[in-house]
Amino acid sequence: MTAPHGRALFEAVVERTGLASFIGPGAVERALESVGAAPDAATVDDYRRALPQLRTRMAVYLKASELQEKLSALDALFRS
């Protein structure tokens, strides 16, 4: 199985963050921008580099157990 790319990858990442629909896209976009990547062109490597920033944003809204579950889901996506 191949990981999605472009807008499909962005949407898959947003979904797996578990953040509300009015928070998730902006949080992912800002995390990507922090590493110089645009959402529609970001690669899996860009998301991996942005993961520390994304994790910090997710931690504001999720319980620790939820955060770990969502980070595991993101890791699985990035490995696919």
pLDDT in tens, 7-17: 999 999 999 99
Looking at the structure of the chain, the number of domains it has is 1
- Would 40 be classed as within a structural domain? yes
- Would 50 be classed as within a structural domain? yes
State the pTM of this model: 0.91
Give the pLDDT of residue 5.
80
- Would 47 be classed as within a structural domain? yes
Q: DSSP readout, 25-41?
A: HHHHHHHHHHTT--TTT
- Would 1 be classed as within a structural domain? no
Q: Is the pLDDT of residue 35 over 60?
A: yes
Structure tokens at 27: 């949080």
Structure tokens at 80: 């696919």
- Mean pLDDT calculated for residue range 21-38: 96
- Would 65 be classed as within a structural domain? yes
Whether the Cβ atoms of residue 27 and residue 17 lie closer than 8 Å to each other: yes
- Would 28 be classed as within a structural domain? yes
Give the three-state DSSP class for 50: helix
Report the distance separating Cα 23 and Cα 57, nearest Å: 10
Range of the domain at 26: 6-79
